[in-house]
Structure 1
Amino acid sequence: MSWSIIAPAPGTPPCGPPTPGADGWTVTRHADVLAVLTDPRCVVPAAAPGAPDGTLAWLRGAVSRFSPPEQHPARRAVGVAALADLDPDELRTTAARATAVLLDVVAAPAAPAGRTTAAPTAVPPHQATLPGPADADRSATVPPHQATLPGPADADRSAAVPPHQAILPGPADADRSAAVPPHPVMLSGPADTDGSGAGAPTARAGMSPAAGGAGDHPGAGRADVMALLARRVPVEVLAAGLGLADPVAAAPAVAAVAAAYHPGADPAAVAAADRAVAALLALSPPAAPEVAANRIGLLVQACDATAGLIGAAVRWGLAAPAAVPTADLLAEVLRLEPPVRATRRVTTVALRLGGRTIGPDTPLLLRFDAANRDPAAHPEPDRFRPGRGSLTFGAGPRGCPGERHALALAEGVVDEVRRRCAATGGPVTHETHPTLHVPTQIEVSVR
């Protein structure tokens, strides 16, 4: 089969009229999904308000993603304003630079035993803002930690950053500190610079299984794109743009929140997400609670979806002709293998949809993966053909406000992977999730 024919992922339903089921109706046709997305009578299931501040339930109750219609516009405006200060072209460039640094680390030959010349330098302390009353001292110095400067190929270029403390909200007599796990750091930049990386985020040499000098090409290594790049670079770059004090520490916290963001998560995941929300608040710039929540919400929304987009684009893009622009590749991957396979709405009144009558208070499951392959909207729906568009980012007043930013971050990563990497032929599996389609691992060899 040619790479330009991309079959539907397992579990993708065929297009057809809306169908009833035990949990509501499933909507699969392009026209019907678009009609629901743009119909004010179909609303997002809202999160319950009134949860304790600084918890996952509080975050879900404060972000625009789960807001009722009367609160959504104002909360969405907060996210739109935050993104307005971020230039997508700069995000793309920064993501590409960070990706290149990480791939350099993987591709570098392993240092011979006994020949290590690490060159540590102290990263200055930074301030973490603590939640609390307006008249409280809300800043705390995070201790300096060590990073490793780039250097000769035979140098030991990684160093573990010691844990530092994030202050969690809670009663005055509570233990309000929690350790942020250690993370290895690699500063980018030429060997003769001060190691500041010229604005690039720090990159970690040891955050994924990757062995230098063991690939298909001389001096190449193997790496898992998902762990090394897709799940870290976009979140770190976006966190830096949004002003979080430590983007590297923010990335695993965002992942913990994303793992429990949608209803149905197990109690252990929710507890981990509660701690992560508190840590992210401590790393965030001073802001009103609703502003801080929606800033974190942008990071969470970008986490799994952008990682899934990068994974799918690498999976298919490494086989694509080099002449296919990465932007075109991403657009068609969004249609053919969307990282967000479905979203939910609830009817507020009885309505007609696709020739069917659906009653009020009825859940609707909108299947993007099916609608994007509707032959009525896209002839030869399984064929890669740029320029056709998709519904994956949504439509109407609830359409994703960060579409350009997410695509820019993904393009920066995927461009570098296409330039530097080759597929190893390993199997691609995906995480188990009712609405997301995210690869668990994609191994590549790095040149």
Structure 2
Amino acid sequence: MTRHADIRAVLTHPACRVPAVETGPPDTLAWLRATVSRFSPPQWHAERRAIGVGALAALDPDELRREAAELTVAVLDRAGDRLDVMRHLARPVPLRVLAGRLGFADPVAAGTAVTVVAAAYHPGVDPALVRRADGEVAALLALAPPGPPEVRANRIGLLVQACDATAGLIGAAAHHLLPPPTERPASDPRGRVGTVHLLAEVLRLDPPVRATRRVTVAPLRLGGRDLPAGTSLLLRFDAANRDPAVFAEPDEFRPGRPGGGLLTFGAGQRGCPGERHALALAAGVLDVLRERCRRTGAELRHEPHPTLRVPTTMEVTVR
């Protein structure tokens, strides 16, 4: 599905549910997927979501942004004249900040483990990645603050959700917002726009989460079509965010567009609870990159993934 109105209808319709996942032995990746709110069936979703919402409520986005900026400065100060944003900043900085604020005993180790888990998080990946992720799930549970397994799992889930999505946003934003090797003309309006407004337009035009899935559990009519129960739906955020019925000149990069409508963070009861926190973490990194870095002009490539768009590398020059 690609139309903005149809996707919003699916995301908010009770007959359209997240596809079920199978659980596994305790402390494994399959167990984690089946325990976090993202993949939980309706009867467990609200209670598990409340765990994540409560944990995030204790975090001040302004403090997350400040700490992410401080860590970014420290990395750039050690970097020399060139740096790969994806390797050294886009994943490590947000994960270290978020893990520390969520109470994980060793934020650096937690961030490293989460990267392994995130690589195997979606069903259908290489079994070898799953086996490696199983060990890292156990390590994350040991690093998490004390509490019932379900509470610790959903705190880990916040880190996993932030890993690739925030990294993809930072990589895309660096590509769109940093000046190229040649001097940017002074008339470019991006130089005068706040980072958060710029990130919102990057999320619309080049979202790190390109799509999500739902399945119908009852017959319904959507987008002028009758869908039987059991219909699998692929919801294309990248297309909906360029729907001309909602966004004027949808292929143009125009920060500060009036109104809302962005679907990258979802909608309804399963909308992402960490939108403000993700934007704050990304903004902290980008605030510093915009001051001190330029793109090198190298071709941008992305990791192979059916629903995520994350650059493999993003090299910049540092001053």
The normalised TM-score by structure 2 is: 0.95
Superposition CA RMSD, Å: 0.9
Deviations 1:245-301 (A, max 9, x none): 101111110010000101101110000100110110111111100000000000000
CA distance in 2: counterparts of 1:419 and 1:42, whole angstroms: 44
- The answer for the alignment partner of 1:43 in structure 2 is 17
1:266-277 alignment, distance < 5 Å: 266-277=126-137
The reply on whether 1:91 has 2:42 as its aligned counterpart is no
* Unaligned segments of structure 1, at least 5 residues: 1-26, 107-211, 213-220
Give 1:384 shift. 1.6
- The answer for the alignment partner of 1:252 in structure 2 is 112
CA distance in 2: counterparts of 1:47 and 1:413, whole angstroms: 34
Large movers: runs of 4+ above 4 Å: none
- The answer for the alignment partner of 2:209 in structure 1 is 340
- The answer for the alignment partner of 1:167 in structure 2 is none
SS in 2 for 1:71: helix
- The answer for the alignment partner of 1:324 in structure 2 is 193
Deviations 1:339-382 (A, max 9, x none): 00000000011111111111101110000000000011111101
Q: Which amino acid aligns with 1:418?
A: R
Q: Which amino acid aligns with 1:252?
A: T
The reply on whether 1:387 has 2:257 as its aligned counterpart is yes
SS in 2 for 1:352: strand
1:408-427 alignment, distance < 5 Å: 408-427=280-299
- Alignment partner for residue 48 of structure 2, among 70, 75, 81? 75
CA distance in 1: counterparts of 2:137 and 2:31, whole angstroms: 9
1 or 2, which has the higher strand percentage? 1
- The answer for the alignment partner of 1:435 in structure 2 is 307
The reply on whether 1:355 has 2:227 as its aligned counterpart is no
- The answer for the alignment partner of 2:185 in structure 1 is none
- The 8 Å contact of residues 331 and 387 in structure 1, kept in 2 or not, is answered as no
Identity of aligned residues (%): 67
SS in 1 for 2:99: helix
Deviations 1:292-330 (A, max 9, x none): 000000000000000000001110111363212111110
- The answer for the alignment partner of 1:279 in structure 2 is 139
Give 1:387 shift. 2.9
SS in 2 for 1:70: helix
* Unaligned segments of structure 2, at least 5 residues: 180-187
- Alignment partner for residue 78 of structure 2, among 102, 105, 108? 105
- The answer for the alignment partner of 2:273 in structure 1 is 401
CA distance in 2: counterparts of 1:247 and 1:235, whole angstroms: 8
Q: Which amino acid aligns with 2:235?
A: L
CA distance in 2: counterparts of 1:294 and 1:45, whole angstroms: 18
Give 1:231 shift. 1.2
SS in 2 for 1:92: helix
SS in 2 for 1:415: helix
SS in 1 for 2:191: coil
CA distance in 1: counterparts of 2:27 and 2:312, whole angstroms: 29
The reply on whether 1:294 has 2:267 as its aligned counterpart is no
CA distance in 1: counterparts of 2:279 and 2:199, whole angstroms: 7
The normalised TM-score by structure 1 is: 0.68
- The answer for the alignment partner of 1:229 in structure 2 is 89
CA distance in 1: counterparts of 2:145 and 2:218, whole angstroms: 42
Higher mean C-alpha displacement, 268-277 vs 312-321: 312-321
The reply on whether 1:32 has 2:16 as its aligned counterpart is no
1 or 2, which has the higher helix percentage? 2
- The answer for the alignment partner of 1:138 in structure 2 is none
- The answer for the alignment partner of 1:377 in structure 2 is 246
CA distance in 2: counterparts of 1:46 and 1:243, whole angstroms: 30
